[in-house]
Structure 1
Amino acid sequence: MDNVYDKAHELAKVLKSYPEVSEYREASEKIKNNADAQKIIEDFRKIQFEAYNEQMEKKQLSEDTKKKFENISNIISMNQDVAQFLTAEQKFSIIWQDIIKILTDSIGLDLNFGMK
Protein backbone atom coordinates (compact mmCIF):
# COMPACT_ATOMS: atom_id res chain seq x y z
CA MET A 1 0.00 0.00 0.00
CA ASP A 2 1.26 3.47 -0.90
CA ASN A 3 2.12 5.85 1.91
CA VAL A 4 -0.31 8.79 1.76
CA TYR A 5 2.38 11.17 3.02
CA ASP A 6 4.76 10.15 0.23
CA LYS A 7 1.98 10.85 -2.27
CA ALA A 8 1.34 14.23 -0.65
CA HIS A 9 5.02 15.07 -1.07
CA GLU A 10 4.82 14.01 -4.73
CA LEU A 11 1.81 16.28 -5.22
CA ALA A 12 3.66 19.15 -3.53
CA LYS A 13 6.62 18.62 -5.86
CA VAL A 14 4.36 18.72 -8.93
CA LEU A 15 2.51 21.79 -7.64
CA LYS A 16 5.78 23.58 -6.95
CA SER A 17 6.57 23.50 -10.67
CA TYR A 18 3.19 24.90 -11.78
CA PRO A 19 3.41 28.41 -13.25
CA GLU A 20 0.43 29.53 -11.15
CA VAL A 21 2.18 28.43 -7.97
CA SER A 22 5.43 30.13 -8.99
CA GLU A 23 3.56 33.35 -9.80
CA TYR A 24 1.77 33.24 -6.46
CA ARG A 25 5.01 32.59 -4.56
CA GLU A 26 6.80 35.46 -6.35
CA ALA A 27 3.87 37.85 -5.86
CA SER A 28 3.73 36.90 -2.16
CA GLU A 29 7.42 37.69 -1.74
CA LYS A 30 6.92 41.18 -3.19
CA ILE A 31 4.01 41.83 -0.86
CA LYS A 32 5.81 40.45 2.19
CA ASN A 33 8.34 43.27 2.00
CA ASN A 34 5.86 46.08 1.31
CA ALA A 35 3.84 47.40 4.25
CA ASP A 36 1.71 49.65 2.02
CA ALA A 37 0.74 46.74 -0.21
CA GLN A 38 -0.07 44.61 2.83
CA LYS A 39 -2.36 47.37 4.13
CA ILE A 40 -4.19 47.57 0.79
CA ILE A 41 -4.75 43.81 0.82
CA GLU A 42 -5.90 43.92 4.44
CA ASP A 43 -8.38 46.70 3.59
CA PHE A 44 -9.58 44.75 0.55
CA ARG A 45 -10.17 41.63 2.66
CA LYS A 46 -12.12 43.62 5.26
CA ILE A 47 -14.37 45.11 2.60
CA GLN A 48 -14.77 41.68 1.00
CA PHE A 49 -15.80 40.19 4.36
CA GLU A 50 -18.23 43.04 5.04
CA ALA A 51 -19.76 42.60 1.60
CA TYR A 52 -20.14 38.85 2.09
CA ASN A 53 -21.89 39.34 5.43
CA GLU A 54 -24.10 42.07 4.05
CA GLN A 55 -25.03 39.90 1.07
CA MET A 56 -25.92 36.99 3.36
CA GLU A 57 -27.99 39.14 5.73
CA LYS A 58 -29.66 41.60 3.38
CA LYS A 59 -29.37 39.77 0.03
CA GLN A 60 -27.88 42.89 -1.57
CA LEU A 61 -25.03 45.33 -1.14
CA SER A 62 -25.58 48.82 0.18
CA GLU A 63 -24.45 51.83 -1.80
CA ASP A 64 -21.80 52.43 0.87
CA THR A 65 -20.31 48.97 0.38
CA LYS A 66 -20.42 49.35 -3.39
CA LYS A 67 -18.56 52.65 -3.04
CA LYS A 68 -15.96 51.04 -0.77
CA PHE A 69 -15.42 48.30 -3.37
CA GLU A 70 -15.07 50.87 -6.12
CA ASN A 71 -12.52 52.86 -4.10
CA ILE A 72 -10.42 49.84 -3.12
CA SER A 73 -10.55 48.57 -6.71
CA ASN A 74 -9.14 51.89 -7.91
CA ILE A 75 -6.37 51.70 -5.31
CA ILE A 76 -5.57 48.11 -6.30
CA SER A 77 -5.44 48.99 -10.00
CA MET A 78 -2.82 51.65 -9.23
CA ASN A 79 -0.59 49.20 -7.34
CA GLN A 80 0.83 46.62 -9.73
CA ASP A 81 2.23 44.38 -6.97
CA VAL A 82 -1.12 44.16 -5.19
CA ALA A 83 -3.01 43.55 -8.43
CA GLN A 84 -0.57 40.80 -9.43
CA PHE A 85 -0.77 39.23 -5.98
CA LEU A 86 -4.58 39.11 -5.97
CA THR A 87 -4.68 37.71 -9.51
CA ALA A 88 -2.07 35.07 -8.68
CA GLU A 89 -3.89 34.20 -5.47
CA GLN A 90 -7.14 33.72 -7.35
CA LYS A 91 -5.49 31.44 -9.94
CA PHE A 92 -3.86 29.36 -7.21
CA SER A 93 -7.13 29.21 -5.29
CA ILE A 94 -8.92 27.68 -8.25
CA ILE A 95 -6.28 24.95 -8.58
CA TRP A 96 -6.35 24.29 -4.83
CA GLN A 97 -10.15 24.07 -4.71
CA ASP A 98 -10.12 21.68 -7.67
CA ILE A 99 -7.58 19.45 -5.91
CA ILE A 100 -9.61 19.42 -2.68
CA LYS A 101 -12.76 18.58 -4.65
CA ILE A 102 -11.02 15.71 -6.46
CA LEU A 103 -9.75 14.32 -3.15
CA THR A 104 -13.01 14.64 -1.25
CA ASP A 105 -15.07 13.25 -4.12
CA SER A 106 -12.65 10.34 -4.54
CA ILE A 107 -12.84 9.30 -0.91
CA GLY A 108 -16.56 9.91 -0.60
CA LEU A 109 -16.61 12.95 1.66
CA ASP A 110 -19.08 15.80 1.40
CA LEU A 111 -17.46 18.85 2.96
CA ASN A 112 -20.71 20.77 2.52
CA PHE A 113 -22.62 18.33 4.75
CA GLY A 114 -24.86 20.23 7.12
CA MET A 115 -24.20 23.58 5.44
CA LYS A 116 -27.14 23.63 3.03
Structure 2
Amino acid sequence: MIKVHEKAQELADAMKDNETVVAYREAVKKLEQDEQKKQMVKDFRDLQFAAYNDKMTKGDVSDETRKQMEDLVSVIALNTEVSAYLETEQNFTILFNDIMKVINEAIGVDIIG
Protein backbone atom coordinates (compact mmCIF):
# COMPACT_ATOMS: atom_id res chain seq x y z
CA MET A 1 0.00 0.00 0.00
CA ILE A 2 2.83 2.37 0.85
CA LYS A 3 4.33 1.83 -2.60
CA VAL A 4 1.16 3.14 -4.28
CA HIS A 5 1.24 6.28 -2.15
CA GLU A 6 4.94 6.76 -2.86
CA LYS A 7 4.31 6.46 -6.59
CA ALA A 8 1.40 8.88 -6.36
CA GLN A 9 3.68 11.36 -4.61
CA GLU A 10 6.30 10.84 -7.33
CA LEU A 11 3.65 11.60 -9.94
CA ALA A 12 2.60 14.72 -8.04
CA ASP A 13 6.21 15.86 -7.80
CA ALA A 14 6.77 15.23 -11.52
CA MET A 15 3.61 17.14 -12.41
CA LYS A 16 4.64 20.21 -10.40
CA ASP A 17 7.50 20.83 -12.82
CA ASN A 18 5.89 19.49 -15.99
CA GLU A 19 5.83 22.21 -18.66
CA THR A 20 2.18 21.52 -19.53
CA VAL A 21 1.14 21.77 -15.88
CA VAL A 22 3.25 24.88 -15.26
CA ALA A 23 1.83 26.58 -18.36
CA TYR A 24 -1.73 25.69 -17.32
CA ARG A 25 -1.18 26.90 -13.74
CA GLU A 26 0.19 30.22 -15.03
CA ALA A 27 -2.66 30.60 -17.52
CA VAL A 28 -5.24 30.01 -14.77
CA LYS A 29 -3.59 32.61 -12.52
CA LYS A 30 -3.53 35.11 -15.37
CA LEU A 31 -7.17 34.48 -16.26
CA GLU A 32 -8.23 34.83 -12.61
CA GLN A 33 -6.97 38.42 -12.65
CA ASP A 34 -9.37 39.58 -15.37
CA GLU A 35 -13.10 39.28 -14.70
CA GLN A 36 -14.03 40.04 -18.31
CA LYS A 37 -11.85 37.23 -19.64
CA LYS A 38 -13.08 34.86 -16.94
CA GLN A 39 -16.63 35.67 -18.00
CA MET A 40 -15.75 35.02 -21.63
CA VAL A 41 -14.47 31.55 -20.72
CA LYS A 42 -17.58 30.92 -18.58
CA ASP A 43 -19.82 31.97 -21.48
CA PHE A 44 -17.87 29.63 -23.76
CA ARG A 45 -18.35 26.75 -21.29
CA ASP A 46 -22.05 27.52 -20.98
CA LEU A 47 -22.42 27.42 -24.76
CA GLN A 48 -20.45 24.18 -24.97
CA PHE A 49 -22.85 22.67 -22.44
CA ALA A 50 -25.87 24.03 -24.33
CA ALA A 51 -24.55 22.54 -27.57
CA TYR A 52 -23.92 19.20 -25.87
CA ASN A 53 -27.39 19.28 -24.30
CA ASP A 54 -29.00 20.11 -27.67
CA LYS A 55 -27.12 17.23 -29.29
CA MET A 56 -28.20 14.77 -26.59
CA THR A 57 -31.83 15.85 -26.35
CA LYS A 58 -32.62 16.94 -29.91
CA GLY A 59 -30.05 15.02 -31.92
CA ASP A 60 -28.42 18.20 -33.22
CA VAL A 61 -27.26 21.60 -32.06
CA SER A 62 -29.91 24.30 -32.46
CA ASP A 63 -29.28 27.07 -34.97
CA GLU A 64 -29.41 29.63 -32.15
CA THR A 65 -26.77 27.82 -30.08
CA ARG A 66 -24.63 27.27 -33.16
CA LYS A 67 -24.79 30.98 -34.04
CA GLN A 68 -23.97 32.05 -30.48
CA MET A 69 -21.03 29.65 -30.44
CA GLU A 70 -19.71 30.93 -33.78
CA ASP A 71 -19.99 34.54 -32.60
CA LEU A 72 -18.22 33.85 -29.32
CA VAL A 73 -15.48 31.81 -31.00
CA SER A 74 -14.86 34.76 -33.33
CA VAL A 75 -14.48 37.07 -30.33
CA ILE A 76 -12.23 34.59 -28.51
CA ALA A 77 -10.03 34.25 -31.60
CA LEU A 78 -9.29 37.97 -31.33
CA ASN A 79 -8.39 37.72 -27.65
CA THR A 80 -4.94 36.17 -27.51
CA GLU A 81 -4.98 35.62 -23.73
CA VAL A 82 -8.29 33.74 -23.73
CA SER A 83 -7.25 31.74 -26.80
CA ALA A 84 -3.95 30.88 -25.14
CA TYR A 85 -5.75 29.89 -21.94
CA LEU A 86 -8.11 27.54 -23.80
CA GLU A 87 -5.23 25.98 -25.72
CA THR A 88 -3.22 25.51 -22.52
CA GLU A 89 -6.25 24.02 -20.80
CA GLN A 90 -6.74 21.61 -23.69
CA ASN A 91 -3.11 20.49 -23.45
CA PHE A 92 -3.49 19.94 -19.70
CA THR A 93 -6.70 17.97 -20.25
CA ILE A 94 -4.92 15.68 -22.72
CA LEU A 95 -2.15 15.06 -20.19
CA PHE A 96 -4.66 14.42 -17.40
CA ASN A 97 -6.70 12.03 -19.57
CA ASP A 98 -3.53 10.13 -20.52
CA ILE A 99 -2.72 9.69 -16.82
CA MET A 100 -6.27 8.53 -16.10
CA LYS A 101 -6.05 5.97 -18.93
CA VAL A 102 -2.92 4.50 -17.34
CA ILE A 103 -4.72 4.29 -13.99
CA ASN A 104 -7.80 2.72 -15.63
CA GLU A 105 -5.65 0.08 -17.27
CA ALA A 106 -3.85 -0.67 -14.01
CA ILE A 107 -7.03 -1.26 -12.01
CA GLY A 108 -8.98 -2.91 -14.80
CA VAL A 109 -12.06 -0.73 -14.30
CA ASP A 110 -13.11 2.19 -16.47
CA ILE A 111 -13.47 4.93 -13.88
CA ILE A 112 -13.60 7.79 -16.38
CA GLY A 113 -16.30 6.43 -18.63
> How does the TM-score come out when normalised to structure 2?
0.92
Q: Deviations over 1:72-104 (max 9, x none)?
A: 101211211111111001010011011111101
Give the partner amino acid of 1:99: I
Q: Quickly say closer, same or farther: Cα 1:112–1:37, change in 2 above 3 A.
A: closer
Match of residue 24 from structure 2: 24
Aligned to 1:44: 44
Q: Runs ≥4 in structure 1, deviation > 3 angstroms?
A: none
Matched, 1:80 2:80: yes
C-alpha change, 1:57 and 1:96, in structure 2 (3 Å) is same
Structure 1 or 2: larger helix share?
2
How far off its partner does 1:58 sit?
1.3
Moved more, 36-45 or 19-28: 19-28
Q: Give the secondary-structure state (helix, strand or coil) at the position aligned to 2:10.
A: helix
How many percent identity over aligned positions?
37
Residue ranges of structure 1 left out of the alignment (5+ in a row): none
CA distance in 2, matches of 1:8, 1:88: 24
- Equivalent AA in structure 2 for residue 23 of structure 1: A
- Measure, in 1, the Cα distance between the counterparts of 2:50 and 2:85: 21
Figure out how many residues of one structure are paired with residues of the other and give that number. 113
Q: CA RMSD in A?
A: 1.5
- Return closer, same or farther for 1:112/1:7 CA change in 2, 3 Å cut-off: closer
Q: CA deviation at 1:112?
A: 6.0
TM-score (structure 1 length as normaliser): 0.89
